[in-house]
Structure 1
Amino acid sequence: MYDPIEFPEETRDIRDLTTKICEKYQMPLEERILAGEKLTHTDFEPGIRAAREAGLWGLSLPEELGGANLSCYNLVAVQEAASKPLAPLRFWGELPPFLWNASGKQKELYADPVLSGEKAFCFAQTEPSGGSDPAGSIRTRAVRDGAEWVITGNKVFITAVDFADFVFVVAVTGTDQRQQGGISMFVVDIDNPGLKITREIDVLGGTRVHELFFDNCRVPAHALLGAEGGGFGQAQQMLSAARMTVGAAALGIAWRALEMMTGYAKQREAFGSRLADKQAVQGFIVDSWIEIHQARLAMYHAAQRTDEGHDTRVEAGMVKVLGTETAGRVLDRAIQVYGGAGVSFDNPLAHWYGLQRLARIYEGPTEVHKYQVIARKLLNS
């Protein structure tokens, strides 16, 4: 498929490396998914090991912490390539920036095991009361009790719980201040007796998420991450980076769907001619290519600005919106071209369709980014 973006040599090399690992380890997993298998974390481990051996470990971490120290530009390029298989390539060794300089117990129990790949974490912010307005909707509370903190509350739609060893939890510690110093971040071991994993929830795209209850969950003083009241900024820091990579992953899927749609249209005949010769199908393909190209240009421009040191929180939201919305439209067109074959779960398109519908909600719904983040920035500038 024609790609007009001219990448620097370094970016081309790392994209090619990612693609080769995907072809060897992830595409066979895609075939197993299409055959009806449910994969476990163990199935992804060969690809994770291969990525680590290739230097793709802790993608955004500084080299002194053992990471790949990728620029944001190269990071989104890698994520785009890694997401083209139905079983995307996973990268471990990532550590939130607020733990980069961890010391003492936090370094020993949490930072070092993540850096080495021995342990993994999940992030719990969303609650039944809402997720798009974390500052206003969070009801989970943490109260100091001597040398301990006691956490009480409920989190829902939490991803990666099934292979996490501990969870980063956002909780209210100062009701009056909220985002102005009233929200803190804690780390809780997954086997803490006060933490109950009460429900596994199947959602669109074959994804499994969980509900967590913190029932007078006691954690030591070192479970507070950073300063008390600094949790809102820490959470936003994690989410901003995630939004850029979610957009990149969506565009990787959109590009693969475009390749599939184009290939199918060339070889499928209907009413005496190829689908590729039908004006409607040509329109689907051209419109999809234009949308993907525009979204990718915006994404790589935003990534470059990030590397230059600009505050790109608004652009990260834009990338997330463009990527996920574009992928949804491209997948819809691709399924229309495939017809009945497109809605079968022995076709990746059907799996991605549900997954990308979900992607328009998590890490901030499209409407929140458009009207609460981007519009506010434009109207107040």
Structure 2
Amino acid sequence: MDFTPPERAVELTERVKTFIRDEVIPLEKQAHHKDGLSPEQLAAVRTQARDAGIYNPQIPVEYGGLGLDLLECCPVFEAAGYSLLGPLALNCSAPDEGNMHLLHHIGTKPQKERYLLPLIEGNTRSCFAMTEPAPGAGSDPTMIRTHAEKRPDHWVINGHKTYATGADGAAFFIVMARTNPDVPATEGCTLFLVDAGTPGLEMVRRIEGLTIPAPGGHCELMFENCTVPEDRVLGEVGKGFKFAQVRLGPARLTHCMRWIGAAQRALDVAGAYMVEREAFGVRLAQHEGLQWMLADSAIELHAARMMTFQASWLIAQGDEARNEAAMCKVFVSEAINRVIDRALQICGSLGISEDLPIANIYREARAFRIYDGPSEVHRMVIARRMLKQLRNERTTRI
């Protein structure tokens, strides 16, 4: 087991770090548009990323990307995540990154031409619509109520979705709907590709909250007799849950990579502040209590990296690594929040201001413990798998 990134990933990581420092971070102060960056700003910085040879690092070479596997993505995505705008600039941000991965693996050739290629080019955005308001699917995806009925040559979707990331302005939506009510949801749901503007699809509202603006926001959607052609089934009928795992496992890890980068930046800012600021006659860096906070954060980030490397290595070897990805999601989401919180505390009133990047990182990071499965649900699933294995092996001793 060797987590040493290949030379190409090391070299690419250094170029990404330079690009983020020189081209992306200076844009942060200008990003007052409701989506963080104006379309013109985003297009310009993506052109710069293309010219720098760092665009689409995760996309296969045959589609014009750099062809990195998941382990190689670890340091590159972390470097991109050093700025909250970085993944957008490199076209490796959620939800598009996960949707591109899904389309590449299970999309038909016409679907790839219609939906994947424009995403890769950065000409469109996408949305993954799974979560529903109560009493529909939230933390328990098997409670899904959105349903699709088969007609001779099309499907009709009815239902209600919420917290659909990137929905406002998305060119298309990947929608999970129940297609067979007579079997468990895990066997009776299907993924559909729904074009924006399809009659019967309504964007009800953008949901405002703690997180900072992002392209497309988080939205509430309604489907009322929304008709989609038969060829817009993504994957196979009845296998929506199975194919969703193609997206969700790697996407949880790429989230971890990006957030480790953001937490590292918060730690770097706090460390630099400690070196410069004086209190009680000495630099903050000389106060042991703050030194320990800095050390605890460095320890947790190192552990988070190693867990992410190991799970990514397993997936790169062909393993689904569901348990490892779930463990990463729990540990990393909680660890980076502790790291960012310590950084904010070290910087005091300056930390909660927008004079430093920590406040924005703090606001955005809190949601990571909820989306892609809250920590409590992942813990429940991890424990169930452990207990099932123990029962099967009958190796327990009392």
Q: TM-score, normalised by structure 2?
A: 0.88
Alignment of 1:170-319 (within 5 A): 170-207=176-213, 208-319=217-328
1:346 aligned residue: 355
Alignment of 1:27-66 (within 5 A): 27-33=25-31, 38-66=36-64
> SS at the partner of 1:170?
strand
Contact conserved, 1:22 with 1:47, CA < 8 A, in 2? no
- The whole-number CA distance in structure 2 between the counterparts of 1:166 and 1:256 is 33
> SS at the partner of 1:203?
coil
Shift of the 112–255 alpha-carbon distance from structure 1 to 2, 3 Å rule, reads closer
1:11 aligned residue: 9
- The whole-number CA distance in structure 1 between the counterparts of 2:59 and 2:266 is 31
- The whole-number CA distance in structure 2 between the counterparts of 1:149 and 1:35 is 37
> SS at the partner of 2:199?
coil
How far off its partner does 1:165 sit?
0.3
- The whole-number CA distance in structure 1 between the counterparts of 2:116 and 2:242 is 19
Pairwise CA RMSD: 2.3
C-alpha distance after superposition, 1:266-319 (max 9, x if no partner):
110111111111111011101111111111111112212222222212211222
* Aligned residues with identical type, % of pairs: 37
1:376 aligned residue: 384
Shift of the 11–280 alpha-carbon distance from structure 1 to 2, 3 Å rule, reads same
How far off its partner does 1:252 sit?
0.7
C-alpha distance after superposition, 1:152-192 (max 9, x if no partner):
00110011113310000000001122344200010111111
Q: Give 5+ residue unaligned stretches, structure 2.
A: 390-398
2:329 aligned residue: 320
How far off its partner does 1:64 sit?
2.5
How far off its partner does 1:35 sit?
11
C-alpha distance after superposition, 1:52-95 (max 9, x if no partner):
34444444333223332211111122111101114223233852
2:394 aligned residue: none
2:115 aligned residue: 110
1:131 aligned residue: 138
- The whole-number CA distance in structure 2 between the counterparts of 1:37 and 1:31 is 14
> SS at the partner of 2:371?
coil
How far off its partner does 1:380 sit?
2.1
Shift of the 145–238 alpha-carbon distance from structure 1 to 2, 3 Å rule, reads same
How far off its partner does 1:42 sit?
3.2
- The whole-number CA distance in structure 1 between the counterparts of 2:274 and 2:220 is 43
> SS at the partner of 1:89?
helix
How far off its partner does 1:255 sit?
0.8
2:161 aligned residue: 155
- The whole-number CA distance in structure 1 between the counterparts of 2:35 and 2:364 is 17
Alignment of 1:351-362 (within 5 A): 351-362=360-371
C-alpha distance after superposition, 1:321-375 (max 9, x if no partner):
2222111101111111111111113321111111111111001111111222x22
Q: Give 5+ residue unaligned stretches, structure 1.
A: none
How far off its partner does 1:7 sit?
4.5
How far off its partner does 1:130 sit?
3.4
Shift of the 144–307 alpha-carbon distance from structure 1 to 2, 3 Å rule, reads same
Shift of the 35–131 alpha-carbon distance from structure 1 to 2, 3 Å rule, reads closer
Shift of the 88–272 alpha-carbon distance from structure 1 to 2, 3 Å rule, reads same
Contact conserved, 1:35 with 1:346, CA < 8 A, in 2? no
Contact conserved, 2:31 with 2:38, CA < 8 A, in 1? no
> SS at the partner of 2:274?
helix
Shift of the 34–225 alpha-carbon distance from structure 1 to 2, 3 Å rule, reads closer
Shift of the 252–38 alpha-carbon distance from structure 1 to 2, 3 Å rule, reads closer
Q: Give, as a single letter, the amino acid of the residue that structure 1 aligns with 2:129.
A: A
Q: Give, as a single letter, the amino acid of the residue that structure 1 aligns with 2:116.
A: A
Q: Give, as a single letter, the amino acid of the residue that structure 2 aligns with 1:123.
A: F
> SS at the partner of 1:78?
helix
Between the two proteins, the alignment pairs up a number of residues equal to: 375
Q: TM-score, normalised by structure 1?
A: 0.91
Contact conserved, 1:34 with 1:346, CA < 8 A, in 2? no
